[in-house]
Amino acid sequence: MKKNLALLLIATGILGGCEQFNQEASVQSSQSAETSSSSVSLTPEEEQKLAEEAEHQAMLDALPDASTEDWNLELVNNWTKIDESIERPLSALPNSNGLLVDQRIIEEYTAMTDAGKEAGHEIIAVSTFRSVELQTTNYNNSIQKYVDEGHSKEEAVKLTEDYIAIPGGSEHHTGLAIDVMDTEWLNSGKGLIAEFDTQASQQWLVEHAADYGFVLRFPKGKEAETGIEYESWHFRYVGKENAAYMKNYNLSLEEYIALLNEAGK
């Protein structure tokens, strides 16, 4: 009896010791894992990369319900020629001496210029739809002008293409682009030059155009993406949701289309 009791006490002590050992081992393992985790730190470059990836994913998640196939997102540039087989519903813009645009943008453009007028800005369209034939004439005339000024043919082409799209690559072929000035600027004879952005009317447009579905198509800092130098006068219709998104994220149309493609839209 005493012998059995002694054996029982010994066994209990061993089991208790095992349980205590297991608990201590578990605590040590947890502490080791925490120490290991805390010892792994990211470099500033890795942290920046993770932040950029998170920001990019947030942009994708916030994309409007749009498609690269939408008529108002048609991309035309020096790398993407106009599809001349598409029939475009062109109509004359009111009070523009017959300038043609895609008739689907007239209501929003008129609303925008009416709002501008209420704000004290007399905004007028000076160039809208252009056929490929007319663009060819403009393109060739520009090259010849630079040659006549003493530039080589190569220099003349480069200077021309800084501001004039190659025939077939102009947004004006779509009927969705409008070059604008205000009456004061027009009467000054200064024309379509970057300094138009000193005008309050241009600044008003940059601030409010997205409310009507328009964006400044060739902004500063996006020359590499668009292939065209800064044009303070060239506005393009893309639709309200698209314009708001592009303005919010400071995107050119090329960048926006790339995001839509990435998202499979």
Instruction: Give me the active site residues, please.
Output: 231
C-alpha 205/C-alpha 128 separation (Å) is 17
22, two tokens: 């297991």
* Cβ burial 58-73 (10 Å sphere, 16+ → b, else e): ebeeebbebebeeebb
Query: Is residue 179 helix, strand or coil?
Result: strand
Q: Which residue shows structure tokens 């209990």? A: 12
Given a contact cutoff of 8 angstroms between Cβ atoms, the answer to whether 253 and 217 are in contact is yes
Chain-centroid distance, C-alpha 189: 32
Burial level of 169, CB count in 10 A (0-12/13-18/19+)?
buried
Contacts 24+ apart (CB under 8 A), 198-204: 200/120, 200/121, 201/116, 201/121, 201/122, 201/123, 202/232, 202/233, 204/116, 204/119, 204/121
CA distance 102 to 176: 6
* Secondary structure letter of residue 85 according to DSSP: T
